Structure 1
Amino acid sequence: MSSQTPSASPAYVDAPTQPETRGIEVVKPSERHGRARDLFGVWAAPNVSVLNFTIGATMILLGLEIWQAVAVIVAANLLWVFPGLVAIAGPAAGTSGSVISRAMYGVLGNKVIIAFTGWLISAVFLALNWLASSFMGADLLAQWGFDDPVLVPILVTLVVSAITVLVAVYGHALIIKSYTAISIGLAVVFLAVTAFALPTVDWGYRAAEPLTGVPLWSAITIGFTIIASTPLSYINSPDIARYLPRDTKPSHIIAATALGGALPGIFFTVVGALIVTGLTGEQLDAGIESAILGLLPSWLGPLLVLGVIVNTIALNGMTTYTSSMALQSVGVPIRRIPSAIVIGVLGTGLTLYLVMSTSLLDAVNLMLQFLVIVSGPAMAIFSTDIVLRRNRYDAVDLFDQERGGRFWYTGGWSLPGMTAVVVGGIATAVCLSTEVWTGPVSEAMGFVDLSVPAGMIVAALVYLGLSKTRLGRFAEASVVSSTRPATAGADAVAAGSAAGSGEASA
């Protein structure tokens, strides 16, 4: 067993009024609490977002009719079932998803995957979300006489990022306790915006040149990929669910997570698609957010801006929280709270740079466009592993990083997992269609974008096939796992297990 597993079990408190000191350490059965339905508000709060308006408008600007846009929006949001599915691994193992994925990629391979998907990409997401709220907050302050084009966005960024990091520091209990109320408050504001914007909708809208044939399928599939990138990016869902009792019904976890993300996503994205039909070219030139602000009464505009900022804090607070554990899982000797602060500082620094520069913004946006190349296959592999193992994950084995451990595989690398994520990524890339990159398969099909289904299906099939061979040693692992009591891992590792960040918890 790894020497990083301490014999003592420090006391951890999961309360909204106290900072959460537990990181990737296992949650003991005696410390489990909560209900699956609590997850609904947690996932709704980040997804009651002005970004949905923008994405909905994009569907119409791609050339789709209203009913076609609605169909694409609903279909793409069905992928929220995948964050719901991987969330059930949290209560099963009692630890972070960035630790559970050692079962898929091996002890060393997992460090590479998590280093990229777990916190590097997260820092970029933090920056982009903070950037949007900073500029909208600065625009509001400019109306009140604070119009310094540099100082004001910087100050707004610092305030918003500080609150965000504070949410991440207080952690799980604060997120569970407050996000339901936040989602209700945001829903009220966004429904009020909807009420004032809908009268401008052109219900008889028809595209100037209706799409047919291959161009139509190109627009449909590109729109699907844009929307699908959001649910596929939430591979961190086990981190939020890990405190639930192990006997919580998986179906309830899946439903609460998936519906929490999908329902506001579908509704407000459809609203965005409807609103854009009544806007003029001049209004759109200023951006969909500014155009919507122009439709609102003077008292509602500031509330929308405040809602955007609160939504950003909710989204980035969760991102910072889960990223702090990802940093631990790759082996950085740091406790969770300092880790959250480090992530916040990195994101803040990048945001401030973006405030002063436009060239980097283009580069970051390009990076996010290609995120689906990693997120789609990774989500498919995680989901496939849960099905193959029947959601049986043993904490003792997950935290055993010694050579010869069950998840050491081949020199610390799981060849099935690493091969699947690479091959799946290639399949995604060759089927992807963006403004800066068109894969050869997509180009041959007339710019039809099948990147999401192609990447996920290929990754799942490769992982499934190789895991059944000696490369994966999957059969042996499944037998051992099925003979060990469900709570053995949590009892043995207890709450003080800090494998992957042993020095930090020593």
Structure 2
Amino acid sequence: MDLEPQSAAPGRVEQNGTNSIPLVERHGSPRDLFTVWAGSNVTYLYFVLGGLLVLFGLNVWQAIAVVIAGNLFFVGVGFLAITGPRSGVPSEVIGRAFFGVRGNRVLNLVCGWFVGVLYEAINLSVGATVGFALVLWFAPQAPIWVQGALVLGLALLTFTISVYGHATILRFSRWITWVLLIGIALMAFFVLLRADFSYEPAGGSLEGAPLWAVALAGFTLIASAPLSWQVGADYARYLPPDSNPSHVAFWTGFGGFLPAVAIGILGVLAGTVVDMSDPTTGMASILPSWFYPIFLVIVIVGSVANNSLTAYSTGLALLAAGVRWRRSVTVIFDAVIAVGITLYALFVSNFLDSLSGLLEVSLVILAPSMAIYVVDIIIRRNRYDGRSLEDESPGGSNWFRRGWNLAGLTALVVGAVATALFVSTTFYMGPLAAALGGADLSPIVGSLVAGGLYALLAGRRIRASLASPRTDAEPRSAEVAA
């Protein structure tokens, strides 16, 4: 593969994203990761998800507990990030260690790229819907085609930031994070003034299901968001290789967890006083008229920040999958696909149904794949060699059996089947979920089955390779050594 220099100064297009970062270009501290992850997670999606918990039939405190519990998966996101400074390569390349070169290509297309593009479409849909509400605030007779134009405009802005790469995203995140947090703090003030903390659902739980089943369904919905962020190494790889792993994990995980929980709780509280089936319009009834358009702008900017990070990683996923394009071209390709899905979601299907269904079904792959990644880090003691991981040649350390690591792939397939048996959505319910009255245990079961099976199948081989005097798992140069 013809690889080009990876890092870029702000204002210069970053051309590629799969080669390891040279030591001379490693800089910053783990604390810098907070603004990257916090800025990208100040998104309206979490507000909508919090409101959906109220629509499910949970009361205030039950819904808040579910928001906190589901977002604890950001601990896993932080843990995955520690592989970045050590190896200097993104998560999309590290996956070769546990899936093999060819197996990892397939997983990058399904898990890294396809799911990522669907999330890009969700964020574009949210941004365009809110943007149209902003237009209607000033021009009530605006035609519906304006919403389509907003999709194109937001896509142009979002994917332009992603094309310029890591340095631009980092600079954008540093100032936008605090602007968004201030705006969210103001919104929180007005929501708290009107919220009904004693709210109890009048119609009972969703479809008459028992409370614990509804709570588990909400847990799965909330957990789907952090589980989709299996790209922690993509941004941590720019840090010096001797960066403290616990600090890397903390600032990454906390950066995602804090805004996700805070905004999710605001969605819950808003759901006690407004109809969260149409949250954008409903918020106009509890926000001052002078602040409502500001609130809409905050949502739009948040969707752009979140999508910039997502689009950057989906571009890397295509490269890691073996697509021989420049990274800038992969981002443009993503934009075309995401815009098409967004227009369909807005003008053809029911957006809320599509949203909840997509997030829940994506866990079939996301939960087991994160578990395998975590277990591999633990067994390997985070000893990844960036140069070795980039070796795609037959016979290399990542080739395994014809390019497929059967241990990782078997664990993934079995974990995905186990997850599917326990998943419960509006259009599909696994047989074991049905037997439990609709309870959705998919993220928990999928993680335990996949992680445990991978440890059983691959643990001995990995530990044996680490015990040898010279292994491909160990760093080969000061450029990637911790």
TM-score, with length taken from structure 1: 0.89
CA contact (8 A) 1:40 1:180 kept: no
- Paired residue type of 2:128: S
**CA deviation vs aligned residue, 1:353-398 (integer Å, no higher than 9, x gap):** 4444227996676343300111100110111111111111112321
Q: CA deviation at 1:490?
A: 7.2
Correspondence list, 1:210-229, <5 A: 215-229=210-224
Query: CA shift at 1:136, angstroms?
Result: 1.7
CA distance in 1, matches of 2:365, 2:122: 19
1:40-79 equivalences under 5 Å are: 40-79=34-73
The equivalent of 1:258 in structure 2 is: 253
Choose which of 327, 342, 345 in structure 2 pairs with 1:351: 342
SS in 2 for 1:488: coil
**1:64 CA drift (Å):** 2.2
Whether contact under 8 Å (2:230, 2:370) holds in the other structure is: yes
Q: String of CA shifts for 1:152-183, please: whole Å, max 9, x gaps.
A: 11221111111111110121112222213212
Q: CA deviation at 1:53?
A: 2.2
RMSD: 2.5
After superposition, residues 249-288 of structure 1 pair within 5 angstroms as 249-279=244-274, 283-284=275-276, 287-288=278-279
1:107 corresponds, among 78, 101, 112, to 101
Residues 476, 117 of structure 1: alpha-carbon distance in 2 compared, 3 angstrom cutoff = same
In structure 1, the residue matched to 2:372 is 381
Counterpart of 2:185, as a letter, is L
Go from structure 1 to structure 2 and tell me whether the alpha carbon gap of 1:361 and 1:480 turns closer, same or farther (over 3 Å shift): farther
Between the aligned partners of 2:255 and 2:375, the Cα distance in structure 1 is 23
Aligned with 2:315 (options 308, 320, 324): 324
In the alignment, which of 5, 8, 29 is matched to residue 35 of structure 1?
A: 29
Note if contact 1:54-1:289 (Cα within 8 Å) is conserved in structure 2: no
Q: Does structure 1 conserve the Cα–Cα contact (< 8 Å) formed by 2:48 and 2:276?
A: no
- Which residue of structure 2 lines up, in the alignment, with residue 204 of structure 1? 198
- Contact preservation (8 Å) 1:133, 1:308: yes
- Superposition pairs of residues 439-478 of structure 1, within 5 angstroms: 439-468=430-459, 473-478=461-466
Q: CA deviation at 1:291?
A: 0.8
TM-score by length of 2: 0.93
Distance across 2 between alignment mates of 1:364 and 1:199: 29
1:244 is aligned to 2:212: no
**What percent identity do the matched residue pairs reach?**
36
What amino acid is the match of 1:406?
Answer: S
1:504 corresponds in structure 2 to: none
**Is the Cα contact below 8 Å between 1:396 and 1:490 reproduced in 2?**
no
1:119 lines up with 2:110 in the alignment:
no
Indicate the SS of the match to 1:358. Answer: coil
Whole-Å separation in 2 of the counterparts to 1:64 and 1:151: 37
- How many residues end up aligned between the 2 structures? 479
Asked whether the equivalents of residues 138 and 147 of structure 1 are also in contact (C-alpha less than 8 Å), the reply is no
Task: Choose the corresponding residue for 2:476, options 476, 488, 491.
Answer: 488
Letter in 1 for 2:286: L
Q: Deviations over 1:385-431 (max 9, x none)?
A: 11111111112321221222111111111111111111111111111
Offset at residue 50 of structure 1 (A): 2.1
CA contact (8 A) 2:133 2:281 kept: no
* Structure 2 residue 334 is matched with structure 1 residue 339: no
Equivalent position amino acid for 2:377 in 1: I
Contact preservation (8 Å) 1:26, 1:490: no
Instruction: Determine whether 1:24 maps to 2:18.
Output: yes
Contact 1:54–1:288 under 8 Å retained in 2:
yes
- Please give the alpha-carbon distance, in whole angstroms, between the structure 2 residues aligned to 1:106 and 1:70: 40
Kindly indicate whether the alpha-carbon contact (under 8 Å) linking 2:357 and 2:425 is maintained by their aligned counterparts in 1: no
The separation in 2 between residues aligned to 1:37 and 1:447, in whole angstroms, is 41
Residue 218 of structure 2 aligns to which amino acid in structure 1? G
Amino acid at match of 1:172: H
1:414 aligns with 2:402: no
Partners in 1 of 2:7 and 2:425 — Cα distance? 46
Structure 1 residues 317 and 32, CA gap change in structure 2 (3 angstroms): same
For each residue in 1:133-162, what CA deviation from the matched residue of structure 2 results, as whole angstroms up to 9, or x when unmatched? 112212221333374434311221111111
Note if contact 2:364-2:419 (Cα within 8 Å) is conserved in structure 1: yes
- CA contact 2:44–2:126 (8 Å) conserved in 1: no
Gaps of 5+ in 1: 494-506
SS of 2:210 mapped into structure 1: helix
Q: Summarize the Cα distance change of 1:491–1:273 in structure 2 as closer, same or farther, 3 Å threshold.
A: closer
